[in-house]
Amino acid sequence: MDLLDLAKKRCSVRQYAATPVEQEKLDYILEVARLAPSAVNFQPWQFLVVSTKENLEKVQSCYEREWLKTAPLCIIACEDHAASWKRGSDGKDHADIDIAIAVEHICLAAAEQGLGTCWVCNFDAARCRALFQLPDNLEPAVLIPLGYPAESASERHTKRKEMEEIVRYF
């Protein structure tokens, strides 16, 4: 499968089958994330793989949507602000950009493996930090539920703007 086909296959999954994710597939996905590029190759991230019932309930309490309860595991993608590169001219912290690249690597690798994911950014990050006792330098940025999709993608998940709407040539 080429990258364009993979990008077309990836979608936001909001209903998961009860089938567990094989460790080999999870390891593969995390290796793809590990290889993601980052500013100055600082790799300012940590990925918390949450799979026990008790810890999944903690994650679910940070984003109370019924569909999230169907995911057999969830990855909490954290930015490490102590390890991130800051641009010299204005001090911009590139952790947000770096974690976004790594998270999309996770989502594409999962799709390649026949698994589904969903970017969840609208969650209670302060609660997540407290429940998982994260140090001040680690910011939980994205929740990534992961599992086998129990539904096919809806048009809402696959509809995209036309090229003419998003690209300008100069």
**pLDDT tens column, 35-59:** 999 999 999 999 999 999 999 999 9
DSSP strands (E only) in the chain: 45-50, 73-80, 116-117, 138-147
Residue type at position 67? W
Nearest to 80 by CA among 143, 141, 145, 144: 141
Query: In total, how many domains does the chain have?
Result: 1
User: What value does the CA radius of gyration of the chain take, rounded to a whole number of Å?
Assistant: 17
Is 43 domain-assigned? yes
> What distance lies between CA 152 and its chain's CA centroid?
19
pLDDT at 158 over 90: no
Question: Is residue 9 situated within a structural domain?
Answer: no
The reply to whether 108 falls in a domain is: yes
The verdict on residue 111 lying in a domain is yes
pLDDT of res. 151: 74
Judge contact between 68 and 145, C-beta under 8 A.
Answer: yes
The CATH number of residue 46's host domain is 3.40.109.10
pLDDT score of 155: 56
> What is the end-to-end Cα distance of the chain in Å, rounded?
32
94 falls within a domain: yes
| pLDDT-derived band at 98, boundaries 50, 70, 90 | very high
* pLDDT at residue number 153: 60
**157 band by pLDDT with thresholds 50, 70 and 90:** low
Scored b (16 or more CB within 10 A) or e, 50-60 reads beeeebbebbb
Whether pLDDT at 147 is above 60: yes
Task: Give the domain range for residue 81.
Answer: 16-151
Confidence of residue 1 (pLDDT cuts 50, 70, 90): confident
**Residue 32 host element (H or E):** helix 23-34
144 by Cβ neighbours in 10 Å (0-12 / 13-18 / 19+) ranks as buried
User: Each residue of 129-145: pLDDT tens digit?
Assistant: 999 999 999 999 999 99
Over residues 58-70, the pLDDT tens digits come to: 999 999 999 999 9
For residues 165 and 25, give the distance between their C-alpha atoms in angstroms, rounded to a whole number. Answer: 37
Q: With respect to residue 27, please indicate whether it lies within any of the assigned structural domains.
A: yes
pLDDT of res. 29: 98
- Report yes or no on 77 lying in a domain: yes
pLDDT surpassing 80 at residue 9: yes
